[in-house]
Amino acid sequence: MKRGDWDSEYEAEKALNLTDAKVPEIYASAVNWADEQISVLQNDSEF
Protein backbone atom coordinates (compact mmCIF):
# COMPACT_ATOMS: atom_id res chain seq x y z
CA MET A 1 0.00 0.00 0.00
CA LYS A 2 1.17 3.49 -0.79
CA ARG A 3 1.78 6.11 1.86
CA GLY A 4 -1.49 7.74 2.82
CA ASP A 5 -3.54 5.30 0.80
CA TRP A 6 -6.69 5.87 2.81
CA ASP A 7 -8.89 3.86 0.45
CA SER A 8 -6.77 0.73 0.85
CA GLU A 9 -6.71 1.22 4.59
CA TYR A 10 -10.49 1.56 4.70
CA GLU A 11 -10.87 -1.54 2.52
CA ALA A 12 -8.62 -3.50 4.90
CA GLU A 13 -10.63 -2.35 7.91
CA LYS A 14 -13.89 -3.17 6.15
CA ALA A 15 -12.63 -6.65 5.22
CA LEU A 16 -12.00 -7.24 8.90
CA ASN A 17 -15.34 -5.79 10.07
CA LEU A 18 -13.38 -3.30 12.07
CA THR A 19 -14.76 -0.06 10.72
CA ASP A 20 -16.41 0.66 14.08
CA ALA A 21 -13.41 -0.27 16.15
CA LYS A 22 -10.95 2.42 17.13
CA VAL A 23 -8.21 1.11 14.87
CA PRO A 24 -6.01 4.25 15.05
CA GLU A 25 -6.07 4.03 18.87
CA ILE A 26 -5.22 0.35 18.69
CA TYR A 27 -2.24 1.19 16.48
CA ALA A 28 -1.07 3.97 18.77
CA SER A 29 -1.30 1.67 21.79
CA ALA A 30 0.70 -1.00 19.91
CA VAL A 31 3.47 1.54 19.28
CA ASN A 32 3.50 2.45 22.99
CA TRP A 33 3.56 -1.19 23.98
CA ALA A 34 6.55 -1.85 21.65
CA ASP A 35 8.40 1.14 23.14
CA GLU A 36 7.80 -0.18 26.66
CA GLN A 37 8.98 -3.67 25.72
CA ILE A 38 12.11 -2.33 24.05
CA SER A 39 12.93 -0.25 27.08
CA VAL A 40 12.54 -3.39 29.28
CA LEU A 41 14.83 -5.31 26.92
CA GLN A 42 17.41 -2.50 26.79
CA ASN A 43 17.46 -2.12 30.56
CA ASP A 44 18.11 -5.80 31.01
CA SER A 45 21.45 -6.59 29.41
CA GLU A 46 20.79 -10.28 29.91
CA PHE A 47 18.43 -10.13 26.94
Partner 1 sequence: MYFYAARQPILDADKNLYAYELLFRDGVDNVFPDVDGDMATSRIIEGAQINFGLEDLTDGKPAFINFTLETIAKKYPSMMSPDTLVVELLETIQPGKRLLSEVQKLHEQGYTIALDDYEHKPVWKHFYPYISMIKIDLRSMSQDEVTSVLADLKAYPEITLLAEKVETLEEFEWCKSLGFTYFQGFFFSKPEMVKTKNLSPAQMTLAELLYETSNEDVNIPKITQVFERDINLSYKLLRYANSAAFSRVSEISTIKQAIIALGHLELKKFISLLFSTQANSSKPGELLKMSMVRARFCEQLALAEKSQDIGKAFLTGMMSLIDAILDETIEKVMEQLPLANEIKVALIEGEGKLAEFLKLAKAYETR
- 8 touching partner 1, by CB under 8 A: yes
For residue 39, the Cα-to-chain-centroid distance in whole angstroms is: 18
Smallest separation, CB 13 to partner 1 (Å)? 6
Note the helical H segments in the chain.
6-15, 23-43
For 18, how many CA atoms within 13 A lie in the half-sphere containing its CB?
13
- 30 touching partner 1, by CB under 8 A: yes
- For binding to partner 1 (CB under 8 A), which residues are involved? 1-5, 8-9, 12-13, 15-18, 21, 23-24, 26-27, 29-31, 33-35, 37-38, 40-41, 44, 46-47
